[in-house]
């Protein structure tokens, strides 16, 4: 039961501002039409000085009321590109380990289900302050939404000999522990937490499912276009660290990096990621969670396939049909499709299946390359997780988002990030029209958002979406006409079941043009 000593000064009929007393101190939020939002609440001390590459440390209590009406600093110091699909503000400041709470009922007796959102950005960018992550529609439907910031790039994920591994993962866990200890003050039920994220955030969800220390901090999970690369072990992380030193001349240690400026650290990060023959077979996401043997005991795909951890946690997972098909093609329009697909590890038989499946684009190597990247990074790995969980009879719901955007540059594609405004029911958010085109269907947003709300509240997206089983493999197709199909992704399984790991190692990373990984 919530601690009665933490009863907030807010009442159901109060007007803004609204103050809530948390275990660390009082915070003042802003009332809106569907609830109250509290922005930039620190869940850990600012990661500066000796804490820059340390495990997150709980913030010191405060007595004066904290103004939580503006978003806090972001770990993102620059976006992926001038214009990204998702509007992702960069906010300066040191206290980047903060979170935002959107609640319809900021008082302990409410005991509402909670959705914790982890943003994407390839583990090197992204922002919890995006208007696409606003919790207003979830609040309208009785769900508390929490969006979190975490350390990115070198600070979060470069393996350092004198610092904890997977510092970004430790940040996610610290934020979830804050939710466990504090969310009742905001009307949430700590026993009814669902963790969710998209792209790198979906990879974060998968990583948390495979992390023993995170178990018990959430009861359900949603992985949206989850990106977890292979290989993802300590040897790979150490190889990245060696390459970092070779390319920059700077030791991969916290001591050497502690006092670098943000600009200097970004320059070092750029040097690590620059093209070169010494890149070898490093993964596309060089700075990302990895199996360190302790916090994350085993590579995430391996752990989830075996059911070692997170097996009984209900999982909703899926992807868009054309995740990275909008990325610029690095080759020539005259490239031979068969030779192109061979670089992804496909033999003649699998190449034939792939080309038959995409016959309408058989003479378009750019489309085929984008689809192969989409399959190897997103669709095949998530499908493998769903298949493994189905064999183990674990509660799983699989989807594919096919609703094509009509915006310039992505017309006809259901591309990366295009599903989020529908899931959040925010079709009027800034940037949505530019990303999706005019008049995206509200009916699809109603259906997707309702399924998410049902899953968060009841651990089941509803009767119209059956769970994914080993015999039927029923999959939700989100399109203008949502429908369930039996095993619609069979060609993906047949083509990539063997070759996906090889493709991860060999396929070039798509250049970034506003598509958030």
Residue numbers annotated as active site: 199, 323, 416
Contacts with 32 (C-beta within 8 Å, 6 or more apart), sequence order: 16, 136
CA distance 372 to 340: 10
Sign of dihedral through CA atoms 247, 251, 257, 260? Answer: negative
- Is there a contact between 199 and 225 (Cβ–Cβ < 8 Å)? yes
CA distance 388 to 56: 34
- Is there a contact between 147 and 176 (Cβ–Cβ < 8 Å)? no
CA distance 19 to 90: 27
CA distance 269 to 266: 5
End-to-end CA distance of the chain: 39
Number of Cβ within 10 Å of residue 93's Cβ equals 12
**CA distance to 154, 189, 226, 320, 365, per residue, from 317 (Å):** 28, 23, 8, 11, 29
Segment holding 496, helix H or strand E: helix 490-496
Query: Could you please report the per-residue DSSP string of 395-423?
Result: -EEEEEE-----STTTTT---TTTTHHHH
Query: Could you please report the per-residue DSSP string of 340-373?
Result: HHHTTT--HHHHHHHHHHTGGGTT-HHHHHHHHH
Burial environment of residue 1 by CB neighbours within 10 A (0 to 12, 13 to 18, 19 or more) = exposed
Q: What angle do CA 246, 121, 53 make, to 5 degrees?
A: 50
CA distance 85 to 415: 10
DSSP letter at 291?
B
Residue 254: CA count within 13 A, CB half-sphere: 20
Contacts with 28 (C-beta within 8 Å, 6 or more apart), sequence order: 17, 18, 19, 38, 65, 66, 67, 68, 69
Return the percent helix, strand and coil in the chain, to nearest 5.
Answer: 35, 15, 50
CA distance 515 to 262: 23
Length of the chain: 517
Contacts with 481 (C-beta within 8 Å, 6 or more apart), sequence order: none
- Is there a contact between 112 and 143 (Cβ–Cβ < 8 Å)? yes
- Is there a contact between 272 and 248 (Cβ–Cβ < 8 Å)? yes
Q: What angle do CA 175, 179, 183 make, to 5 degrees?
A: 150
């Amino acid at each position: 039961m919530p601690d009665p000593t933490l009863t907030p000064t807010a009442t159901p009929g109060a007007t803004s501002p609204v103050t809530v007393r948390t275990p660390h101190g009082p915070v003042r939020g802003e009332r809106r039409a569907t609830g109250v939002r509290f922005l930039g609440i620190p869940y850990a001390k600012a990661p500066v000085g000796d804490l820059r590459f340390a495990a997150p440390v709980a913030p010191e209590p405060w007595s004066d009321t904290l103004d939580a009406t503006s978003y806090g600093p972001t770990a993102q110091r620059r976006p992926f590109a001038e214009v990204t699909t998702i509007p992702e503000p960069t906010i300066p400041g040191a206290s980047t380990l903060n979170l935002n709470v959107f609640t319809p009922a900021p008082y302990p007796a409410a005991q509402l289900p909670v959705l914790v959102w982890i943003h994407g950005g390839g583990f090197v960018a992204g922002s919890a302050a995006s208007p696409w992550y606003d919790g207003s529609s979830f609040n309208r439907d009785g769900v508390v939404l929490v969006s979190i910031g975490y350390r990115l790039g070198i600070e979060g994920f470069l393996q350092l000999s004198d610092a904890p591994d997977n510092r970004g993962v430790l940040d996610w866990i610290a934020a979830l522990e804050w939710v466990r200890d504090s969310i009742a003050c905001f009307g949430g039920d700590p026993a009814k937490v669902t963790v969710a994220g998209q792209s790198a955030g979906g990879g974060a969800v998968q990583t948390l499912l495979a992390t023993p220390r995170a178990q018990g901090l959430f009861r359900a999970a949603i992985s949206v276009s989850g990106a977890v690369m292979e290989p993802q072990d300590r040897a790979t992380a150490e190889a990245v660290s060696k390459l970092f030193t070779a390319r920059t001349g700077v030791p991969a240690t916290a001591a050497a990096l502690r006092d670098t400026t943000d600009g200097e650290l970004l320059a070092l990060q750029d040097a690590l990621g620059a093209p070169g023959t010494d890149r070898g077979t490093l993964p596309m996401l060089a700075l990302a969670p990895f199996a360190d043997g302790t916090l994350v005991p085993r590579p995430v795909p391996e752990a989830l396939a075996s059911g070692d951890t997170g097996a009984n946690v209900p999982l909703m997972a899926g992807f868009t049909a054309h995740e990275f098909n909008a990325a610029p093609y690095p080759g020539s329009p005259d490239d031979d499709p068969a030779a192109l697909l061979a670089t992804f590890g496909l033999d003649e038989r699998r190449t034939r299946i792939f080309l038959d499946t995409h016959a309408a684009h058989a003479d378009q190597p750019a489309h085929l390359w984008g689809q192969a990247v989409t399959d190897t990074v997103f669709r095949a790995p998530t499908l493998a997780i769903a298949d493994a969980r189905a064999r183990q009879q674990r509660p799983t719901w699989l989807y594919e988002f096919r609703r094509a955007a009509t915006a310039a540059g992505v017309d006809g594609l259901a591309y990366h990030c295009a599903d989020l405004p529908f899931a959040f029911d925010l079709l009027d958010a800034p940037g949505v029209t530019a990303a999706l085109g005019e008049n995206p269907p509200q009916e699809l947003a109603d259906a997707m958002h309702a399924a998410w709300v049902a899953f968060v509240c009841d651990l089941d997206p509803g009767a119209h979406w059956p769970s994914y089983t080993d015999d039927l493999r029923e999959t939700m197709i989100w399109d203008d006409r949502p429908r369930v199909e039996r095993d619609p992704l069979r060609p993906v399984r047949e083509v990539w079941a063997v070759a996906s790991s090889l493709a991860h190692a060999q396929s070039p990373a798509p250049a970034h043009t506003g598509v958030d990984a």
